[in-house]
A and B are shown apart, each in its own frame.
Chain A
Amino acid sequence: MKTSLLIGLALIALLVFLVHYLIRQTRSNSLYRQLWFSTAIFILVGILIGPSGTHLLDVKDIDSLSPLTDILLGWIGWLIGIEWSRKLFSLIPIKYWLIGTMENILSIVLVMVAFGGLAFLFKGWFSEPLLPEFLFLVGLCASVTSPRSIITLTHQFSLPREVARNFAVIAHLGNLVAIFFTYILISFLGSEHQGVFRLLPVIIVLVLGVLEALVMNWLFVYRRDTPESMLMVVGIVTFFAGAAAVLQVPPFLAALLGGGIFALNFPKRQHQLMTVLQSSERPIYLLFVTMAAILIPVKEPALYLFLLAFVVIRLAAKFISGITVKRTYNKLQQWWRTGLFLPQGALAVAIALSAYQLNPGYWYGILVAVVILGLLINELLGYTLIKSEG
């Protein structure tokens, strides 16, 4: 590490400190705003330490940090998967399943069509053709919504509990659809196999997911306030993230499936494991966005154009799919509350990053950057939309 880089690191630390201090000085009691600022700071730190910033980490360093990215992706996969619940799924009326599926598929299709149209209109501008699987991936990333943010937002604006529950459930179900499609997509990304062998990555993910859930069930012992449970969980997540990476399948998807299988089959232990996983959720999430933000090529003009298109098209898609939801199910109050469908969380970044791991091409890198920056903009948009309606 050179002296200039140490100074760079010190400046970053100072920046983090100052921004945190200023947020505290504003005495804002808005949890949503605090979380947003916190995420923004860590994204900024990621950009600053990456090749686009102070060069604290160069391409070689980023490569050597890939185990950490795999582990973080695995952890996030478990965090999402562990929330699946057989009891909850059976309680959700079929109408909600339909609405969730429809809202998500509509968003994917609209985003795909719009981006496809842009790619067709500005053919010369793209250095390489945007393939259908890439467009599908963009649609997938745009379609997911963060149920956690919906709950924080509804709490922030003291919206009725019913609204929070309905929207969170629909978002959750919509995300399930996106996850299903992501599994399909991995068969087409980065796989050199042909014919039926294209399904090999999906089978590997399935096998790893089942084994991960089984091993977790055999080894996980919950002890309150002891770090032993944490050690075991870290070990299992790390092992299977490594196995997935070695076998060229996304660690995120294997872990997500593992978490889901565990949650559905061992419901008695689900809550205990969730406690352990969630005890580190915030640091893991912030570290994850920081790591992903390292990849943001801030000097690329394409990033900003893509970002603008992504945000606008997603807003329009969510607006249209939201109206459809409202028309289908009238209890979902005013349509403006489709602003609740705007916030995005770690799932979108994880999908984009998993695809980038399989296919580290130029546009896939840009998409990761767009989704991370879009995370901040979409959260802010959702907040502003709801606030503007009083």
Chain B
Amino acid sequence: MAQQTKTLNGRTILQHSLAIMVLTGVLYVIRYHLLGSEFIGRSYAETTLLLGFVLIVAYMAGIISAHFGLPRITGYLFSGILFGPSILGFATHETVNQLKVIDGMAVALIALTAGGEIKLEELKHIRKPLAWIVSATMLLTFLGVASLVLIMSRWFPFLPGPGNIEQWTAVAILLGTIAMASSPTVVIAVISETKAKGEVSELILGTTVLKDMAVVILFAIALSIALIFNNPGSTFDVMKIVGAIGEVILSLLIGLLLGWLLGLYINKVGREMVLVVLGLCLLVAEIGLNYHLEPLSICLAAGFYIENFSGAKGDVFISAVKKLSLPVFALFFCVIGLELDLRSLASIWIITLVLVAMRGTMVWLGTVTGSRLGNAGSFMKNYGWLGFVSQAGVSIGLAVTIGRTFPDWGVQLETLIISMVTVHEIIGPILLKFALDKSGETEAASSKR
């Protein structure tokens, strides 16, 4: 932080401004004067151009964020929002879609980093508070949000009028389930950036990861129940639930297998680690896409296995993963920013804020209750809940499923969920960094002490 403040002096600001003017100028000329003309070359070239612009702008925004004591990923997100289709429109929906190709790879890499952060020894010490916090936050968040939806449903513009309790219940169940999810990618990005170490960061990471897996299974159950409420004639689909549980278990098993194979590679060969990491992420992203498995769970398990069972050389691998993480974080969160649709938020901001407030309250209540029951430390009781506010990819993915499954009102609910995620995505990293700073677990905070 001190280093950042020092580097952001007048000269740096001038140089950065000049650079951004040149880059914007080049982009502007190409985008608005040359596109469609004879000058334009190979396909995907515009995507490469935008990718570079996004990385540079994200880097600068990261520095500015850090200067103001905010997490870098907030800067990445804001730069994405600023240059995305919602505001300046430098990136079109088409180029954003092309950039999304890296999503799967980025999630895989982030999960590898997260898995590498989970140490079995430390996990043993926190298993009791972990179990209580996961249970309490999930249960209370679900109950709180679902109840609020039932109470407020008459004010939902897209829902049928009074008396349609079945559909209201379906919406309440789905929204309550999605509200339980937090974002492991945000958590790992902020923990990596702040180099936080301690009970609070371990509990936040562990809880978020477990919640993420549980939500995938619970969503399958919620979807089946919601279908029954929405179409009274339909029956409960047990196979869907078995399938969801199977997906998570299979993903974890594949992850452990990959971890074992990688451990073998690390110990017997141990060369070209960066390329191996990239290859692995690509493979996992492809597997996830084509076999409906969870890249996050696969890589989490692989990273966990390598960190805990591959001996001392496992650290070499994890450090190769971390070497790649910053550009990937910058790109990933910037693309998320590009995707965020502020127009949808503008139209339903009152309902969104009410739901966000209720979710936040319930997450706080759940964390306090879970921490008390599990005898977690006072910092976790006071600040831990701030780490569970963020939401990202999984929630959006589940929202899209709702949109597809319930054509009558699903698309509008999807918009509502995405606008909630937008708010959580923006405030989540800031709150998490605040919590880690307050707990004294970040590198900056511990060096001050």
The residues of A with any CB-CB pair to B shorter than 8 Å are 1, 6, 9, 13, 17, 20-21, 24, 38, 63-64, 66-67, 70-71, 192, 211, 214-215, 217-219, 221, 223, 227-228, 230-232, 234-243, 245-248, 280, 282-283, 286-287, 357
**Interfacial residues of chain B within 26-67, with CB under 8 A of chain A in the complex:** 26, 30, 34, 38-56, 58-60, 62
Count of A-B contacts with CB under 8 A?
A: 149
B245 interface hit (Cβ, 8 Å): no
B7 interface hit (Cβ, 8 Å): yes
- Whether B56 pairs with A221 at a CB distance below 8 angstroms is no
The residues of B with any CB-CB pair to A shorter than 8 Å are 3, 7, 12, 15-16, 18-19, 22-23, 26, 30, 34, 38-56, 58-60, 62, 101, 264-265, 268-269, 271-272, 274-275, 278-279, 283, 286-287, 289-290, 322-323, 325-327, 330
- 16 more contacts with CB within 8 A, not counting A227-B325, A230-B323, are A1-B290, A17-B264, A24-B269, A192-B38, A211-B26, A219-B19, A227-B326, A232-B56, A235-B54, A236-B52, A238-B55, A242-B46, A242-B47, A246-B49, A280-B274, A287-B278
Whole-angstrom distance between the Cβ of A206 and the nearest chain B Cβ: 14
Q: Kindly list chain A residues whose C-beta atoms are within 8 Å of the C-beta of B48.
A: 67, 70-71, 238, 241-242, 245
With CB as the reference atom, state the residue of chain A lying closest to B14: A218
- Whether B59 pairs with A231 at a CB distance below 8 angstroms is yes
Q: Kindly list chain A residues whose C-beta atoms are within 8 Å of the C-beta of B286.
A: 1, 6
Q: Which of B3, B26, B43, B278 contacts A243 (CB 8 A)?
A: B26
With CB as the reference atom, state the residue of chain A lying closest to B51: A238
Report how far A282 CA is from B323 CA in the complex, Å. Answer: 14
**19 examples of A-B residue contacts, CB within 8 angstroms:** A9-B283, A17-B264, A17-B265, A20-B269, A70-B48, A211-B26, A215-B23, A219-B59, A228-B59, A228-B62, A230-B326, A235-B55, A235-B56, A236-B56, A238-B52, A240-B52, A245-B45, A246-B39, A286-B275
Report how far A24 CA is from B267 CA in the complex, Å. Answer: 12
A227 in contact with B51 given A21-B269, A218-B19, A236-B56 (CB within 8 Å): no
- Whether B19 pairs with A215 at a CB distance below 8 angstroms is yes
Q: Kindly list chain B residues whose C-beta atoms are within 8 Å of the C-beta of A232.
A: 55-56, 59
Q: Which of B40, B45, B47, B268 contacts A21 (CB 8 A)?
A: B268
A20 in contact with B271 given A227-B326, A231-B327, A239-B23 (CB within 8 Å): yes
The dominant DSSP class at the A interface is helix
- Whether A234 pairs with B327 at a CB distance below 8 angstroms is yes
Q: Kindly list chain B residues whose C-beta atoms are within 8 Å of the C-beta of A221.
A: 7, 12
- Whether A67 pairs with B326 at a CB distance below 8 angstroms is no
Q: Which of A13, A70, A219 contacts B45 (CB 8 A)?
A: A70
Whole-angstrom distance between the Cβ of B331 and the nearest chain A Cβ: 9
Report how far A67 CA is from B16 CA in the complex, Å. Answer: 26
Report how far A67 CA is from B95 CA in the complex, Å. Answer: 13
Report how far A38 CA is from B62 CA in the complex, Å. Answer: 37
Report how far A219 CA is from B15 CA in the complex, Å. Answer: 7
What are the 7 A-B residue pairs with the smallest beta carbon separation, nearest first? Answer: A239-B52, A242-B49, A235-B55, A242-B48, A238-B52, A245-B45, A248-B41
- Whether B15 pairs with A243 at a CB distance below 8 angstroms is no
With CB as the reference atom, state the residue of chain B lying closest to A280: B274
Report how far A71 CA is from B47 CA in the complex, Å. Answer: 12
- Whether B56 pairs with A239 at a CB distance below 8 angstroms is yes
A230 in contact with B327 given A238-B52, A287-B275 (CB within 8 Å): yes
Q: Kindly list chain B residues whose C-beta atoms are within 8 Å of the C-beta of A235.
A: 52-56, 58-59
Whole-angstrom distance between the Cβ of B329 and the nearest chain A Cβ: 9
A283 in contact with B274 given A214-B22, A218-B19 (CB within 8 Å): yes
- Whether B41 pairs with A247 at a CB distance below 8 angstroms is yes
Report how far A70 CA is from B50 CA in the complex, Å. Answer: 13
Report how far A215 CA is from B51 CA in the complex, Å. Answer: 16
Whole-angstrom distance between the Cβ of A210 and the nearest chain B Cβ: 10
- Whether A283 pairs with B272 at a CB distance below 8 angstroms is yes
- Whether A211 pairs with B22 at a CB distance below 8 angstroms is yes
A239 in contact with B49 given A67-B44, A227-B323 (CB within 8 Å): yes
Whole-angstrom distance between the Cβ of B12 and the nearest chain A Cβ: 8
Q: Kindly list chain A residues whose C-beta atoms are within 8 Å of the C-beta of B58.
A: 231, 235
Q: Which of A228, A248, A286 contacts B39 (CB 8 A)?
A: A248
Report how far A280 CA is from B326 CA in the complex, Å. Answer: 14
A231 in contact with B55 given A38-B271, A245-B48, A246-B46 (CB within 8 Å): yes
Q: Kindly list chain A residues whose C-beta atoms are within 8 Å of the C-beta of B38.
A: 192
Whole-angstrom distance between the Cβ of A26 and the nearest chain B Cβ: 13
Report how far A20 CA is from B275 CA in the complex, Å. Answer: 14
Q: Which of A219, A230, A247 contacts B30 (CB 8 A)?
A: A247
- Whether B30 pairs with A243 at a CB distance below 8 angstroms is yes
Whole-angstrom distance between the Cβ of B25 and the nearest chain A Cβ: 9
Report how far A217 CA is from B22 CA in the complex, Å. Answer: 13
With CB as the reference atom, state the residue of chain A lying closest to B3: A223
Q: Max chain A CB contacts within 10 Å: which of B54, B275, B289?
A: B275
Q: Kindly list chain B residues whose C-beta atoms are within 8 Å of the C-beta of A9.
A: 283
- Whether A247 pairs with B53 at a CB distance below 8 angstroms is no
Q: Which of A6, A38, A218, A237 contacts B52 (CB 8 A)?
A: A237
